[in-house]
Amino acid sequence: MEGASVAISNCDGLAGVIRTEQEEFFIEPMEKGAHVTEEHQGGRPHVVYRSSAVKKPPANYSADFHSRGVELGGLLDLETMYRGVEQNMNQTRRSRRQAVDRTYNIEVLLGVDDSVVQFHGKDHVQKYLLTLMNIVS
């Protein structure tokens, strides 16, 4: 599909973003539990939903920076990060036409605080960060 882009991690199920010219979709595996069982051949069920269906909480800019009560938006953060990277890429594409081709290496250090671990769960934080970096690349 022309004009579409996909950034998906396949660690323990599919998780990521599918973007077309008209809409963005998120995909994530359903949590294993009593109502979700992994079939031997069929694999694991997933949830796909439009980004427009995600309700954004109102921003609270007066909250203390060190507050532990601030909740992360989970995939909302993923969406915000994706849009920011997309804007930066569009700006650098224009200036890149005059630049000399060079190879660059970028080292990235990712850190999370306790609220991220609480939101995503100790077992899923690494997968969440890898999915973010997949979108960035």
In a domain, 19, yes or no: yes
Closest alpha carbon to 78 in 137, 3, 135: 135
In a domain, 63, yes or no: no
Q: How far apart are CA 19 and CA 50, in angstroms?
A: 10
pLDDT, greater one: 21 or 90: 21
Q: How far apart are CA 36 and CA 30, in angstroms?
A: 7
In a domain, 119, yes or no: yes
User: pLDDT tens across 28-56, in order?
Assistant: 888 766 555 555 556 778 888 888 777 66
Q: How many structural domains comprise the chain? A: 1
Residues of the chain with pLDDT > 90, as a percent, come to: 0
Q: How far apart are CA 61 and CA 69, in angstroms?
A: 13
In a domain, 49, yes or no: yes
In a domain, 64, yes or no: no
Q: Could you tell me the CA-to-CA distances from 83 to 76, 86, 102 in Å, in that order? A: 11, 5, 26
Cα-Cα-Cα-Cα dihedral sign, residues 109, 113, 116, 122: positive
User: pLDDT tens across 53-92, in order?
Assistant: 776 655 554 554 444 444 444 555 667 777 777 777 666 5
Instruction: Find the domain containing 127 and state its range.
Output: 5-58+70-96+103-136
Confidence at residue 36, expressed as pLDDT on a 0 to 100 scale: 54
pTM over 0.75: no
